[in-house]
Structure 1
Amino acid sequence: MFIPCMIGYGQLLIIVFVVILLFGGAKIPELMRGMGRGVREFKDAMNTDYSSENKKPNPADVPGDKPADK
């Protein structure tokens, strides 16, 4: 069975037409805005460095149980 991998202009126009019929012209900008926010949040999460939050503190840097110098 052959499954085409590329979407042509004809198929793209049909998809756009169906989306406009389903959601209406006024709702599409709101949907695209939501998708853009989702993509932006995903990219921000991918670029955030969480390694500094997961590090254990160095015992020499932690104040407390050090013997007093006499």
Structure 2
Amino acid sequence: MFGNMGYGELLIVGFLILLLFGAKRLPEIGSSLGKSIRAFKSSIKDIQEELPSNDELYRDQPATPRRKTEAPTENKTYAQDSQQHRNSD
């Protein structure tokens, strides 16, 4: 679920949070956390809208030519190539 934490560990963490902050402050903390997450998501959305997309970035640049591949050569293993080299001496 959360990394390597199981339900038992999450229950212990929740109990510790309850002990630290108390039952009266938990709704306030949850509300504050929710507002922070919403503000964070909103700012990320604004940044994504401001940034140009990849299409806009590369629209004016000429396409780079692709390298031509060479025709395949003989498929020889190292041993075959060595044997041929020894025979030619």
Larger Rg: 2
CA distance in 1, matches of 2:6, 2:50: 41
Unaligned runs of 5+ in 1: 52-70
* Residue number among 11, 14, 30 corresponding to 1:13 in the alignment: 11
Aligned sequence identity (%): 36
Greater helix share, structure number = 2
Kindly indicate whether structure 1 or structure 2 has the higher relative contact order, using CA contacts under 8 Å at least 6 residues apart.
1
Structure 1 runs (4+) greater than 3 angstroms displaced: none
Q: How many residues align?
A: 47
- Considering only aligned residues, what root-mean-square deviation do their CA atoms show, in Å? 1.3
Scaled by the length of structure 2, the TM-score of the pair is 0.48
Q: TM-score, normalised by structure 1?
A: 0.60
**Which deviations, in whole Å up to 9, do the C-alpha atoms of 1:28-67 show, x marking residues without a partner?**
111011111011001111111345xxxxxxxxxxxxxxxx
